[in-house]
Structure 1
Amino acid sequence: MTGLVLALTGAGLIFAVLAWVPKAGAVLEIVLSGLMLACLVGAGMVLLYGDGVVGWDERWWNVLLLLAGGLAVTGGGPLTTSVLALADRGNTRAQSTQKAGEVLRGGALIGSLERGAIFAALVAGWPEGLAIVLAIKGLARYPELRSPDQPASVTPQAVAERFIIGTFTSVLWSVTCAAFLLSH
């Protein structure tokens, strides 16, 4: 079972890296994100069916830790932009959360740091770290969310929607990757 879990997690990480290649919101990115998610679900099911990581040799547990951490950080970006693209279907350009990304610059880097910090805090057994990360992000983004100087090409609601959807997707992904790892 160890090999299958590691293989599925590794495959998920490969799909996550490949999902960064297509344009944000492209069908290929959505498909690759879905495959990445399916790999994590499959590995999680194998862990739930078995005994989790209890009894694993420490070296294999460390490999899983690195793979799951990489998947948490890398996979959340394409997954988040895929969810935002799906949320945008039928919206006008001014309501587009993709267009709102121009207001909330640096989202990919901030999201990666956020996912890494959340994953590390949860794996280290410090769930309070999640609240601290979210508080810092919310306080740092507050001026951009409330700024009256936003471009006319995007609505304030689209900016707030992008922040909320992006944050929830990103956080849920990193929490899922950490929970998968801690399934013992």
Structure 2
Amino acid sequence: MSPENWGQLVTALLAATTVAAACSWSRTGRDVWTPATLLLLAAAAGVAATPADIDSGARAATALLVVLGAAAAVLGGGPVTARLFALVDRPRADGTTTTTQGAGSVLRGGTWIGVLERAAVYASLVAGWPEGIAVVLAVKAFGRYPELRAAEDGVRTGAAERFIIGTFASVLWAGACAAVVVLVR
């Protein structure tokens, strides 16, 4: 295959990732489309990392690749993070449960904060400024600190755990989407 064909394949896989991510936001689609989103992004990463020479094509094709990567980062991170919370919150074999669900009411606005966080992390990495991740995480931590501190005073809500798990999942997802684009460019 030619370097342009490799770039077109990555673009097509990122487009499929974005569509699957958009479908993941529905309740019925979450169980099917979230794993599909993960697999499609992994396939895109594998294809982007395989050839020694890959070309995204003309300027418009590169712009499309960057936009699709951003859409996949922003849209896919929410359902992936929610799916991870579902795994964390499931009952154990002995019947006990350690849940972070109650923390969702303490950490209001998490979906929108996650969307903005993923967009900022993706933009920082694609722009070649990885230090931007530190800025994003610092702003998020300082902004959430009062809520986390209040939630943990006197009662264990799991808010800190939910904050950390959600942040890591969100940042890793955005970083993976950015890595695919950076490998092609």
- What whole-Å deviation, never above 9, does each CA across 1:24-79 have from its counterpart, x for those lacking one? xxxx4143111001111111111111246446322211111000000011100000
Equivalent in the alignment of 2:61: 60
Identical positions, percent: 43
Residue 130 of structure 1, aligned match among 122, 130, 133: 133
Quick check: 2:89–2:99 contact (8 Å CA) kept in 1? yes
Quick check: 1:33–1:82 contact (8 Å CA) kept in 2? yes
What is the letter of the counterpart of residue 88 of structure 1?
D
What is the letter of the counterpart of residue 16 of structure 1?
A
Q: 2:88 aligned with 1:98, yes or no? A: no
Equivalent in the alignment of 1:33: 34
Q: 2:21 aligned with 1:16, yes or no? A: yes
Task: Provide closer, same or farther for how the CA distance between residues 105 and 67 of structure 1 changes in structure 2, counting only shifts above 3 A.
Answer: same
Q: 2:122 aligned with 1:119, yes or no? A: yes
> In structure 2, the residue corresponding to 1:40 is in which secondary structure?
helix
Quick check: 1:85–1:98 contact (8 Å CA) kept in 2? no
What is the letter of the counterpart of residue 112 of structure 1?
V
Quick one: distance in 1 between partners of 2:52 and 2:67? 20
Quick check: 1:52–1:183 contact (8 Å CA) kept in 2? no
Task: Provide closer, same or farther for how the CA distance between residues 55 and 172 of structure 1 changes in structure 2, counting only shifts above 3 A.
Answer: closer
Q: 2:168 aligned with 1:168, yes or no? A: yes
What is the letter of the counterpart of residue 160 of structure 2?
A
Equivalent in the alignment of 1:84: 85
Number of residue pairs aligned between Structure 1 and Structure 2: 177
Q: 2:22 aligned with 1:5, yes or no? A: no
Quick check: 2:20–2:34 contact (8 Å CA) kept in 1? yes
Equivalent in the alignment of 1:142: 145
Residue 94 of structure 1, CA deviation: 8.3
Quick one: distance in 1 between partners of 2:104 and 2:63? 36
What is the letter of the counterpart of residue 140 of structure 2?
K
Task: Provide closer, same or farther for how the CA distance between residues 172 and 106 of structure 1 changes in structure 2, counting only shifts above 3 A.
Answer: same
User: TM (normalized to structure 1)?
Assistant: 0.87
Quick check: 2:7–2:55 contact (8 Å CA) kept in 1? no
> In structure 2, the residue corresponding to 1:147 is in which secondary structure?
helix
Quick check: 1:13–1:70 contact (8 Å CA) kept in 2? yes
Q: Show structure 2 runs of 5+ residues with no match.
A: 1-5
Quick one: distance in 2 between partners of 1:121 and 1:139? 19
Quick check: 1:97–1:159 contact (8 Å CA) kept in 2? yes
Quick one: distance in 2 between partners of 1:71 and 1:55? 17
Residue 151 of structure 1, CA deviation: 10
Task: Provide closer, same or farther for how the CA distance between residues 148 and 47 of structure 1 changes in structure 2, counting only shifts above 3 A.
Answer: closer
